[in-house]
Amino acid sequence: MTFLSATLNRVKPSPTIAVTTKAQELKAAGRDVIGLGAGEPDFDTPQNIKDAAVAAIAAGKTKYTAVDGIPELKEAICAKFARDNDLTYAPPQVTVGTGGKQVLYNAFMATLNPGDEVIIPAPYWVSYPDMVLLAGGTPVTVEASLEANFKITADQLEAAITSNTKWFLFNSPSNPTGAGYSRDELKALTDVLMRHPHVWVMTDDMYEHLAYDDFKFCTPAQVEPRLYDRTLTVNGVSKAYAMTGWRIGYAAGPEVLIKAMRKVQSQSTSNPCSISQNAALEALNGPQDFLAPNNVIFARRRDLVVSMLNQAPGIVCPNPEGAFYVYPSIAGCIGKTTTQGKRIDNDETFATALLEDTGVAVVFGAAFGLSPNFRVSYATSDAALKEACQRIIDFCKGLS
Ligand SMILES: Cc1ncc(COP(=O)(O)O)c(C=O)c1O
């Protein structure tokens, strides 16, 4: 008998955090390391949001709050859904948690029974399958290839649905690929879901505001209003408002589900941080005018990274619609050997050799369920990106 739970044996620690830790260790040892692993914007939380937090402290808003969010924030979230997504929700249909991560986790804990399946398009955000496993469910992955621009088709979704399917988990723009589904592409998927009334949709819209060129973000319940009664729309302030450390995420959906999620939260964290909730209130209700200039910067960085990585022999890098990631293929590097004599057998050995030989930290594709690839986060300075991409080009040129 082991002391640790059997459930814990089913999950693995976050590989993205492992890469960041290894990069930090090398840095501490004096190596010149450029980290392209972090999933957070490199700019600061806007001043008006910080000021709102300070004001909340001064006003004594430092006590426990309602379990799943203060009423003012729930009102602001309803207004946000109406403003940005044409979705009408009332406060009892809204929940606020300690990051989008807790909201997703609450939803799985509140709904999954052993044998319940959750369809997850791959490549996926690293936490999805493990959250499903922790909650006792079964992740069912559906592979979206590079040739399909990392998007699954209606036929693939149809083929993955069984009588045990409880949720279809959707994420656009995506972590780790940046791929964003157009309205037509999403409509093809929601048409499939209309034929399977027992399947609910959990949509993770965390990168909604990080969309470039003429890409128009849309969300399932907006594209197919008849799915409203079985959709949980998840979002948060972490990425768009550069508030990863404040830990506020939220969701809206049917009241019965929101109530069940509240029960889970009431017995775990009690409520999200009172000060952060007041900061998120300002984020959603305050000026949104910094979003567009930030997106100009992100789009410029994406263009830089895509064009440079495509100059590296053996690498093919698609140009995605949003988020701050690209997910190049290294199929052309497999089987080759580095100038240091290391053989590239898969994307993990590629990422390890790249870090050891050049000091560039990226996350290998196997962590996201599609290989052989790696993820680059371009939420860092142009100068760092240029230098990192040049090192990747030189590394690939050295392979033989
Ligand atoms: C796709 C996706 N969903 C959810 C989250 C969680 O965000 P939060 O910081 O709100 O927990 C992340 C964070 O990396 C993400 O990439």
Question: What is residue 169's three-state secondary structure?
Answer: strand
Average confidence (pLDDT) over 99-114: 98
The DSSP code sequence of 162-195 is: -TTEEEEEEESSPTTT-----HHHHHHHHHHHHT
What residues does 233 pair with on adjacent strands? 203, 252
pLDDT category at 107 given cuts 50, 70, 90 is very high
If one residue of 103, 239, 265 were mutated to test the ligand 1 pocket, choosing by the most ligand atoms within 8 A of its CB, it would be: 239
User: Does the beta carbon of 244 sit less than 6 angstroms from any atom of ligand 1?
Assistant: yes
Burial of 29 (0-12, 13-18, 19+ CB in 10 A): exposed
User: Does the beta carbon of 239 sit less than 6 angstroms from any atom of ligand 1?
Assistant: no
Q: What is the pLDDT of residue 38?
A: 82
Average confidence (pLDDT) over 353-363: 94
Q: Could you give the CA distance from residue 118 to residue 132 in angstroms, rounded to a whole number?
A: 7
Q: What is the pLDDT of residue 11?
A: 85
Q: How many C-beta atoms lie closer than 10 Å to residue 213's C-beta?
A: 11
pTM above 0.85, yes or no: yes
Structure tokens at 55: 């004001």
Q: What's the pLDDT tens digit per position in 189-201?
A: 999 999 999 999 9
User: Does the beta carbon of 175 sit less than 6 angstroms from any atom of ligand 1?
Assistant: yes
pLDDT category at 21 given cuts 50, 70, 90 is confident
pLDDT at 8 over 90: no
User: Does the beta carbon of 151 sit less than 6 angstroms from any atom of ligand 1?
Assistant: no
Structure tokens at 234: 């998840």
Q: Residue 100 C-alpha to ligand 1 middle, in angstroms?
A: 6
Q: Could you give the CA distance from residue 23 to residue 390 in angstroms, rounded to a whole number?
A: 18
Q: What is the pLDDT of residue 190?
A: 98
pLDDT category at 1 given cuts 50, 70, 90 is low
**What is the average pLDDT score of the chain?**
96
Residue nearest to atom 14 of ligand 1 (CA): 39
If one residue of 20, 96, 101 were mutated to test the ligand 1 pocket, choosing by the most ligand atoms within 8 A of its CB, it would be: 101
Residue nearest to atom 13 of ligand 1 (CA): 39
Range of lowest pLDDT (5-14, 155-164, 344-353, 357-366): 5-14
Alpha carbon 369 to its chain centroid, in Å, reads 14
Q: How many C-beta atoms lie closer than 10 Å to residue 216's C-beta?
A: 9
